[in-house]
Structure 1
Amino acid sequence: MRREFVPDPGASRAEMEAQQRDIAAAATFIDDFEFDSDAVGSDTGPLVAGVDQAFLDDRAVSAVVVTRGDSVVERAHAVSPLSIPYIPGLLSFREGNPILAAFEELSTEPDCVLFDGSGRIHFRQAGLATHIGVVLDVPSVGVAKNLLCGAPEASTEGLAAGERVGIDADEDVDAPAGTRIGYAVQTKQYESPNRHVNPLYVSPGHRVSAETAADWTLATAAGYKLPEPTRLADAHAADVKRTIDT
C-alpha cells in the first residue's frame, strides 16, 4: 500500500489538490498487468472487484464484491463515518478511507478493480479510481454515470450497444489538450426509438490504458448498463444499509 497517498480528509483544499497532482504523476495510464486482458469477465479470467457505496446519515456503507466471470467469489463491506461534505473533484477525500476499510475486510486479492466513480476523467487526472488504485497499486478503472470534465470527440447521443466515443482533455483538465483520458461507453441500448440509455464515462484509474478500461467495462456488462462487479457492489451496499436501517 502507498500509505503516503492515503486520503487525509483533514487536509486543506490546496493540500488535497496538490496530492491529487502527485497521485496523477505516480499513476500509470498504460497497461501494466500480467493476466490475460481478453479473459476479463470470463469464468477462467482474473478476479475482478467492483466497488460502490450507499450512504446513511453521516456514514458510508462501502461494498467490495469480487467476481470471476459469472461467479461471486467474495463480498465485503465496512461502515465508516464521513468526515467532510461532498466537494466536486475531491470525492476520494470523502469516500476513499471508507473504501479502504472495506478492502481490509477482504480475504482475496483482486487482480483488477472497477470503481463507481471517475479515474483519469478528472480535473487533475486523479479521480477516485486513480487515487485508490494508486494507494493499493492495483489495475483500476473508473466507471462514472456522468461526465465530470473533458470533451467527447463526437456526439454521444443515440449510440448503439458496444459503441464508444473518445473523451479528450480540454481546458478543464490538467493535461495537454487532446490527451485521450477515457471513453463514453454504451454498454446497453433499447431498440425502441422512444427509450434510450445514456453511456457510461469510463477512464483508466491506474495501470490500465483508456482503451483497456473501455474493453473491460464492455466485457463485464452482462446485459446491464453497469458492469456486473459494480452492479453487485451497489446491491450489496444497499442490502447492508437496509440491515442498519432496521
Structure 2
Amino acid sequence: MEVARPEFRPDAAASREEMEATQREIAASAVFEDRFDFDPARAGRPEGPLVAGVDQAFLDDRVVSVVVVLRGDTVVERARSVSPTAFPYVPGLLSFREGGPILDAFEALDTRPDLVLFDGSGRIHFRQAGLATHMGVALDVPAVGVAKSLLCGRPVAPTDELAEGARVAVEANGRVDAPNGTVIGYAVQTRQFDSYRINPLYVSPGHRVSAETAADVALACRGGYKLPEPTRLADQYADEVKRSLGD
C-alpha cells in the first residue's frame, strides 16, 4: 500500500515547533466527516468492509509496528516493520515516535483496507492531529483513533458508570485547537461487567470519518474484549513479533 501524502511522513529530527506546525497542517487537511463507500454498520461482519488494526510494541531501542487486516473475524493479511526508535514519547507528539514505522508496515501491505483503527487518538488531540489523523491523512484512508485514556477535551457527562454500548460525547475545551463545544470524539463503553467496572475507550475520527461513525465502528467491531477486534489482534501480533525478536 502506498503512502498517498509522503510530505506528511513524520520527521523525527524536526524541532518541536516544526512538528506542531506540521500537525496543524495535517488537521487542516483532515476530513472529520464521512467520506467512504461502505456501510460502517457492517464493520466486523463477514460481508463487511476490510478493517485494519494497527499497534506497536517496543524492544530495547527498536519498535515493532504491525497491521492486521480483517474481514469479519477472518484475518486477510498481516504486515510488520521493525525500526530503530528515533524519538522519545512526548504527549501530543506520538505520531513522530510511531508514525514512520507504521507507514513502513503499511508499505509492506498488499491489501488496501477500507477502514483503519489505530491504537491512539485522532481528533481528540491538542491540535486535532493525533496518530490516527496523521496516519489517516498520510495514507488517505478512513481512520479512527481508539485510545485507552483521554488526552484532552471534556466529556459532557460522567464516564465512570457507563453501561455496555453507551457513549458520551467529548467536547473541545481550552486545551484543544477547536471552538469550545465542538464534538471531537466519544467515550465509548465497549464492554462492562457487573462484578467489576472497566473504563471506556476514547474514540475519535482520524480522517474521512465523523465522530459519530467512529463511535459506531468501535462498537460494531467489538468482540468479547474491551478493545475492538482489529486493534486487539494487532496488539497480539505485535507482542508475538516482539517475542520472536527477543528469542
- So what's the TM-score if we normalise by structure 1? 0.98
Q: Distance in 2 between matches of 1:48 and 1:237?
A: 17
Q: How does 1:1-246 map to 2 (within 5 A)?
A: 1-192=4-195, 195-246=196-247
Q: Distance in 2 between matches of 1:91 and 1:180?
A: 22
Q: Specify every segment of 5 or more residues in structure 1 that has no aligned partner in the other structure, as ranges.
A: none
- Match of 1:94, SS state, is helix
- Match of 2:185, SS state, is strand
RMSD: 0.6
Q: Specify every segment of 5 or more residues in structure 2 that has no aligned partner in the other structure, as ranges.
A: none
Cα deviation for residue 58 of structure 1 reads 1.3
Cα deviation for residue 103 of structure 1 reads 0.6
- Percent identity of equivalent pairs: 70
- Match of 1:183, SS state, is strand
Q: Residue deviations 1:46-77, cap 9 Å, x none? A: 10000000000111100100000111111111
Q: Distance in 1 between matches of 2:188 and 2:39?
A: 21
Code of the residue aligned with 1:239 in structure 2: it is E
Aligned residues: 244
Q: Residue deviations 1:107-139, cap 9 Å, x none? A: 111011000000000000000000000000000
Cα deviation for residue 35 of structure 1 reads 1.1
Cα deviation for residue 222 of structure 1 reads 1.0
Q: Distance in 2 between matches of 1:242 and 1:166?
A: 38
Q: Distance in 1 between matches of 2:56 and 2:210?
A: 25
Code of the residue aligned with 1:218 in structure 2: it is L
Code of the residue aligned with 1:227 in structure 2: it is P
Cα deviation for residue 13 of structure 1 reads 0.3
Code of the residue aligned with 1:137 in structure 2: it is D
- Match of 2:226, SS state, is coil
- Match of 1:28, SS state, is coil
Q: Distance in 1 between matches of 2:194 and 2:97?
A: 39
